[in-house]
């Protein structure tokens, strides 16, 4: 799998889990099918501008994407994802995402690259994306994850 896919998955993992060590991140990535070494992850962490911040419990640290780092491809996709989203709504097993004009394709690709296990497929038009979720019971969890990644509370 490509470096960009791996880095997008790293963003997904650290946004969902409090990862404290590179070894822990390697384990998560291997479970997702990425054959990586600690040295590779170390380079990714540096390239992506990932830093350690205090976790919510106030006793441990976790990896976090540094917000002012814009150099890597995945950071550009992530930044584009955050700025292109206009709304995220859901019903049943379908999530409907509205984007800025002509942004649906790249945003849909970013969502595909996250490889969320509950997502069956993603279809994009010009400014609308349909995300099919495997079970209506998972819809709110996936919607919330996408809202968190986009920094949006917009419904």
User: What confidence category does residue 153 fall into, taking pLDDT thresholds of 50, 70 and 90?
Assistant: low
Name which of 24, 22, 146 is nearest 88 in CA terms.
146
pLDDT score for 104: 83
Q: How many percent of the chain have pLDDT more than 70?
A: 86
pLDDT at 154: 52
Instruction: Please report the pLDDT score of residue 105 as a whole number.
Output: 80
**What does each C-alpha distance from 55 to 37, 45, 62 come to in angstroms?**
25, 18, 6
pLDDT tens-digit map of 59-109: 889 998 775 444 455 556 677 777 889 999 999 999 999 988 767 887 888
Q: What is the mean predicted confidence (pLDDT) over 118-127? A: 92
User: Based on the number of CB atoms within 10 Å of its own CB, is 71 exposed (0-12), middle (13-18) or buried (19 or more)?
Assistant: exposed
Sign of the alpha-carbon torsion through 31, 118, 16, 106: positive
What's the average model confidence in pLDDT over 102-125?
Answer: 87
Q: How many CB atoms lie within 10 A of CB 64?
A: 17
How much is the pLDDT for 71? 44
Domains of the chain, each with CATH number or no CATH: 3-65 (1.10.10.10), 84-150 (3.30.1360.40)
What local confidence, expressed as pLDDT, does residue 100 receive? 84
Say what percent of the chain tops pLDDT 90: 42
- Locate the DSSP E strands across 37-137: 50-54, 61-65, 85-91, 94-99, 119-124, 128-133
**Which one-letter DSSP state was computed for residue 34?**
-
Residue 115 structure tokens: 């490889």
């Amino acid at each position: 799998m490509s470096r960009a896919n791996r880095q997008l998955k790293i963003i997904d993992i650290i946004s969902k889990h409090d990862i404290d060590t590179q070894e822990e991140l390697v384990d998560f990535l291997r479970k997702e099918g990425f054959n990586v070494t600690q040295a590779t992850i170390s380079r990714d962490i540096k390239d992506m501008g990932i830093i350690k911040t205090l976790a919510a419990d106030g006793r441990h640290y976790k990896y976090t994407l540094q917000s002012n780092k814009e150099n890597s491809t995945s950071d550009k996709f992530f930044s584009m994802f955050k700025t292109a989203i206009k709304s995220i709504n859901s019903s049943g097993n379908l999530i409907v995402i509205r984007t800025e004009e002509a942004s649906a394709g790249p945003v849909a690709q970013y969502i595909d690259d996250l490889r969320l296990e509950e997502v069956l497929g993603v279809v994009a038009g010009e400014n609308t994306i349909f995300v099919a979720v495997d079970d209506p019971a998972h819809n709110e969890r996936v919607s919330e994850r996408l809202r968190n990644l986009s920094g949006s509370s917009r419904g």
